[in-house]
Each structure stands twice: as C-alpha cells, then as structure tokens.
Structure 1
Amino acid sequence: MTPDIGLVEHGPAVSLALPEAVGRALSAARIVEASPDPHTPGYWQLRAGNKVGAVAVDVPGGTPVTVRITPKLPVSRLFFLLGYSLDPRGSWWDGQVEVAEHRDLLPALAHAVERQVDRALRPGLLQGYRATEETSPVVRGRIREAEQIRRHFGATLPVEVAYDEFTTDVAENRILRAAVERLLHLPGVPREVRRRLRHQRGRLIDITPPVRGQLLPSWQPSRLNARYHCALNLARVVLNGASAEHAPGELRIDGFLFNMNKLFEDFVTVALREAFRDTGLTGRLQDAHHLDEAARIRMKPDFVLSGPDDVPLAVADAKYKAEKRDGYPDADLYQMLAYCTGLRLPEGHLVYAKGNAPHAEHRVKHAGIVIHQHALNLDQTPNGLLTDISTIAQLMHAGPHV
C-alpha cells in the first residue's frame, strides 16, 4: 500500500498499490479520478483533476493514506488570484501574505494563516460588545417579557434577560479560533507550523470553540478590527466550503481541497467588475436570466454588464481549461450563443485560463452574433494579469452597443 501519494493538477495518471476500499472512497468522494488498474491486480490508476490540496483517508487498523495534489500554478500566483477575489481593493494579497517556499497549497496556506493570526493577536485580543440573551437568576439588562411569560408562566425567577456584554468572545476571535482548529486537524501541515498554530490556539483559549455544523458568526470590516482583516480573509478561505469531509462506507476522508475552476471564475468575474467600477455601468456576477419566453429554461452567466437602465450590454463566462490542439470545446460556444440570444446581445466573451493564442473570434452564421475567446496567462505578474483583464473589459465596453 502507498501511504503518501503525490499528484499534480491535471497531470498524467499514476498506478499505485491501494486497498480497494480506499480507491473506491477516493472515487466516490470525487477527489481524484480513480479506477482499478486493468493490468496490475491490487493497483489503482489515480489522476488529479481541478482540485488541489491534501486529504487523508483513514484505514481501519492501518496507516492513513494521504493524497496531496499540487497546483500547476506557483503557490504565490494562486494566492494572488485568491486574495484578489476576496478583497480586490485591499492589499493583503499583495506582499503581505507570506507563502514561504512551500510548493504545496495546504502548507503554504497554514503558514500564511498562522503568521496573520499572530499579527492580529500580538497587540491583544479584540474586544467588543456582544448581544446576549439568557436565563438568569438576577435581572441584568432588560427583561424579555414575552419569553418570561412563555417559559415561566408568570414566575418571577429565573428571569429571561437580554444585554450587551463587553467581551473578547466576539465574532472575529471566534472565526480565527475556528480556522486554527480546522488547520490543526488537517493532514500535511508542517510540524513547525502546527506547533505555532497550537500557540495561537492558546491565545484564543477563552473564545467559544467552533461546533461542527453550526454557522460561523458574521463580521463587518471597520476601523476597530482593521488589524484583523487579513487574518479573517484567510480564515474565510479555510472555513468557507473549501474543506473535504466525507464518510463513504466505513472509511473517513478529511482534508482541504481547493476547486481551481471556482477560483478562476471568481477571479475573472471580480476583476471584470472592478474594471467597470468607475464607468457608470454595473457588473453582476452569476446573474440569473431565462432563455425561453415562458421562463422555464434558466441560465446564469458568470458576468453580465448592464447600463444605467439595467439593460444587458455585454456577457462573459470564465472557463478554467486549456485550449487543446484542435481548439476550444464546441459546447462552450453553444453555451455562449444561448446567452447572447437570450440577452439579445450581438457579442459574447469566453475567458479561458490559457491557450495557444491570446484572442480569437467566431461570427455565427445567420445570427449576427460574434463570440470572442480570450486566453489568460495566469503565470505572470499580478499587474500583467490585471492589464490583460482590463483589455478584455475595454473590448466588452467598446462593443456594438456603444
């Protein structure tokens, strides 16, 4: 059995010795493409897709199998895409977040989170007022009369009260503790980083620990919590839908996986929205529309540009896939044609992660519609990448609608 498996995003398949239950668990959880090797009994062919990160599969009575999937992009480039998607007008993604020399995503993320949590907590834990409702033996704050009658039928004690408490157990600190706890349970976090994370957990020991399945509290950026902003944005990455926890059959899978399709889509759409911010036009992400007059066929383009009267002016869709030797998939063109038809637009824009040419266009027969295909080179400087996005935005703005 191979206890530690290293794969590369969209890399070639590898054949490895694995228990059948582990192979089936990886396949069922859609972490990698997994199938029995037809040439070698006891071996499985594994191929990574668009998910990167690390997971561990518990083997009853044996050593857990760890699968690490390395992104094709350098981790520093990936962190730029990630940071810009979360906070395009901030600067935490531009040099403030150290990813050290880690080649894998999870060690780099754990290192960055620990450093930013340390910076946030160094002056002391943030304090604030927290609204509290509880049953108390004494009157504190105001009495919740309706609850008092409903729960205690007119009895004077105990008392249902509501009050604002000045405390360190606020949303910001709860989120940081939840992220630290999550990282401490993930496979692939380096020993030294894990040690420092335990130190940060000690600083947050009086903060309410996270409860599995319970929604995290919300927070709003302000001057008072400014030193927490970077740490909270990174904590959001760890906690918001990027963790893999599955229990197919008798085996448990736990880890952190990042969907590169979603990351690319988020970056392109947020960057396009920012490019139009001062133009008087509105960029909407995942804007819902219908293709048919009966409004039964729903469509949701990644990005729709609208004018002051809310009429669609341009549409774009992001595709994290490389152009193949015989061109981009025809299905993408059909999808964009449907968007242009439903939105009554003469042009549409498909934005790919990379390709053999920076731009191509197709004029649809008998429709008067032009579909543009753009290819972004992600492995370039942030300024170069944003310049390429700006060029696409200018083409969208300069379309026939002007």
Structure 2
Amino acid sequence: MLDIRSRFDLAELTALLATYVGAPSLLRDDPVPSGEDDAGLVDLIAVAFVDELERLVGRGLPKGYVERTFTRPPFAGRPDVVTHLRRHAGRADRLVTRAQRITQDIAVNQVLAHAHALLLRAPLRRPRTRSRLTAMVPALSAISRPVDVDRAIRLARPRLPAHCRDVFDLAVLVVRGTSLLPEGVDRQGAAVLFPMPKVWEAYVEKAISDEAPSEHRVARQVPVPITEPPDRTTGHADVVEYDDDGRPVAVYDAKYKHFGRPSTDDLFQVFTYCRRLRCERGVLVLPGQGESWTVGMGEVTIALRGLPVLAARGVE
C-alpha cells in the first residue's frame, strides 16, 4: 500500500513511525517547519539524522574486528586451509591466511553510510541541511555500502553501542522508507513511503502491551492453523493477548482504514482466529478517536475500536 497522503497529521505520523522503528528522537522539537509550503517529513528526518551523525563523528565512529584474507606477503594470522585448497589446490608455493583487523567498516557504520547517501539524493528544501549532510561525506568515505542492508541492520543491533542508538534508529527509518521524487512543470516535492499497515500493526501491539495487565503477555503475528492436515493452511493473527496461564484472552486485528462499520471479511477473519485459538473476544482496531462498537457472533464477541495516536498517550 502506498500512503500518498497520510490520514494522520505530522505529529501523529512521527509517533507511529517511532513505534515502528524504535526512534524516539523523532518526537523531539526539531528546528524544521512542518508546514506543507515549507519543509516536510523528509526535512524533519534529515535534520534529526545529521544532528546525531555530527555528534557521533565528533566522538568517533565505532570500530570493530573483521576477518581479512591475505593472499600476498606479509601474511598475518593463521592458515586458511579451505581457501588455500579452493584457490590453489593446496600448492606448497602458495599461502593463504586469515586474521582479524580492527576497522570502521562494520555493519553499524555501513547502515549509517547507506542512509546518508539516500538523504543526499533526496530533494531537501533547506540548503543548510544539505550542506551539513555534504560535510559528513569525508567521514564516511571509507565505509562500504552493504550488499544486503537488512542483514547489516540485523548484524549491527546486538552490538550497538549506547551512544549510537539514536542515529542508528534514524538511519533505519531512512532505509525502511522509500524516496519518492515527484516532478512536474511547476512543482517538485518529496515524500517518504512506508508500509503503513505494518506501521499501524506495530503501534497497535505497543498500545495493547501498555494497556494489558503486567502478568499478561502480548505477541504479534501469531500463527493460527485454519484447516486441518494434510493440507494445513495457516493464518497470522496481528496481535494476541495471553493471560498468566498462557491462554489467549483476546485477538486483535489491526486494520489501517477509516473507522466505520466493518466488512463481512474483516468480521469473519477475526472470528475464525478466535475460534481456532479458543478465545471468546476479538477486536478490530482502526485509527480513530476512541469510538467503539460491539457485535456478537455466536460465543465470540467482536469489538470495533477506534484507537487514537497521541491522545492515547495523554499528549495534547
């Protein structure tokens, strides 16, 4: 789904995206206008990112050890028998070794460099922001671009230094979005596209987790067997709440659509999940202002809930 014009205002949208990628720095008051005629979400993200990147570069990019292969003298480390056999068939006059070397060309910096390159190509409306991004080019010039950026993100997270978390989360926000550069005879703009159903699903999970009793557990994308073997079909419930004995007490289906009477398909989807999980309560969660509506389907009660964004957190 392409959310060309979000149904949320900018403050609510940043809250949703922060839940999706774990970037609370987006909720701060950055010195970037948010009006449609001046600067938008791309500029907001760019300023937040370059603020954190400048701090990190001033402190020094993180370093780590990587394995290097040596095929020419001086040889370091230990013999690499597998590579020696593959390349040289075990010839005695050839040698291949491997050794660890400390470098800045590690996964976390590769993700930062990739996000930096994406922002440099974006049509930012504030020249000052572009100048600050350009000034960071020398600091990242020795960092390679990851072949698989999703893998680089997964590798970087477990080893992420505390002082890198904000800038890394912002980089993930940039990488997970897609630049859109619409141009015409009299206009040029920019937007960031996100899989908004997934963003909304992540926000619903966070809201349900905050509301649930402390002894309850909340899980996302729970597999639900729909049919029996041998041709088993499995669905996935968006969010399931379990009690302290591990029994499902509610199934939540996050629907990124305007609040209104649910479709038959939506009702039967959550009804089926409830029946298969032996749960008597299902909830369709839509963006809204606190509206509610309930219907019974046999022994299952299904509620329709309009979940606000900032108002749910007590933010005016």
Per the TM superposition, whether the score is higher than 0.5 is yes
User: Out of 172, 182, 199, which is 2:118 matched to?
Assistant: 182
Q: Using the TM superposition, give the Cα deviation of residue 150 of structure 1 relative to its aligned residue in structure 2, in angstroms.
A: 2.3
Q: Secondary structure at the match of 2:145?
A: coil
User: Out of 76, 80, 98, which is 2:30 matched to?
Assistant: 98
User: Out of 64, 70, 75, which is 2:10 matched to?
Assistant: 75
Q: Using the TM superposition, give the Cα deviation of residue 92 of structure 1 relative to its aligned residue in structure 2, in angstroms.
A: 3.5
Q: Per-residue CA shift, 1:179-232, capped at 9, x if unaligned?
A: 00011123345332222111122221121234588953621355x721110111
Q: Which residue of 2 aligns with 1:219?
A: 156
In the alignment, structure 1 segments of 5+ residues that lack a partner are 1-29, 32-50, 53-68, 247-253, 386-402
Q: Using the TM superposition, give the Cα deviation of residue 239 of structure 1 relative to its aligned residue in structure 2, in angstroms.
A: 1.3
Change (3 A) 1:132 1:267: farther
Q: Per-residue CA shift, 1:3-28, capped at 9, x if unaligned?
A: xxxxxxxxxxxxxxxxxxxxxxxxxx
Higher relative contact order (CA 8 A, sep 6+): 2
Cα distance in 2 for partners of 1:214, 1:331 equals: 33
Q: Per-residue CA shift, 1:76-117, capped at 9, x if unaligned?
A: 322222223333xx854553x737222422222222222221
Cα distance in 2 for partners of 1:172, 1:378 equals: 31
Cα distance in 2 for partners of 1:299, 1:315 equals: 13
Cα distance in 2 for partners of 1:354, 1:216 equals: 36
Q: Which residue of 2 aligns with 1:336?
A: 270
Divergent runs of 4+, >6 A? none
Give the RMSD, CA atoms, in angstroms: 3.0
Cα distance in 1 for partners of 2:211, 2:80 equals: 50
Q: Secondary structure at the match of 1:371?
A: strand
Q: Using the TM superposition, give the Cα deviation of residue 286 of structure 1 relative to its aligned residue in structure 2, in angstroms.
A: 0.8
2:96 matched to 1:169? no
Cα distance in 1 for partners of 2:246, 2:24 equals: 31
Report which of the two has the higher share of strand.
Answer: 1
Q: Which residue of 1 aligns with 2:47?
A: 111
Cα distance in 1 for partners of 2:126, 2:313 equals: 28
Q: Which residue of 2 aligns with 1:374?
A: 305
Q: Using the TM superposition, give the Cα deviation of residue 352 of structure 1 relative to its aligned residue in structure 2, in angstroms.
A: 0.8
Report which of the two has the higher share of helix.
Answer: 2
2:226 matched to 1:291? yes
- Contact kept in structure 2, 1:172 and 1:219, CA below 8 Å: yes
Which residues in structure 2 correspond to 1:250-265 (within 5 Å)? 256-265=192-201
Q: Using the TM superposition, give the Cα deviation of residue 354 of structure 1 relative to its aligned residue in structure 2, in angstroms.
A: 0.9
Cα distance in 2 for partners of 1:128, 1:180 equals: 20
- Contact kept in structure 2, 1:75 and 1:99, CA below 8 Å: no
- Contact kept in structure 1, 2:223 and 2:235, CA below 8 Å: yes
Cα distance in 1 for partners of 2:97, 2:247 equals: 51
- Contact kept in structure 2, 1:140 and 1:161, CA below 8 Å: yes
Cα distance in 1 for partners of 2:150, 2:299 equals: 51
Q: Using the TM superposition, give the Cα deviation of residue 137 of structure 1 relative to its aligned residue in structure 2, in angstroms.
A: 3.0
Cα distance in 2 for partners of 1:133, 1:381 equals: 54
- Contact kept in structure 1, 2:42 and 2:191, CA below 8 Å: no
Q: Using the TM superposition, give the Cα deviation of residue 236 of structure 1 relative to its aligned residue in structure 2, in angstroms.
A: 0.8
Aligned residues: 302
Change (3 A) 1:93 1:186: closer
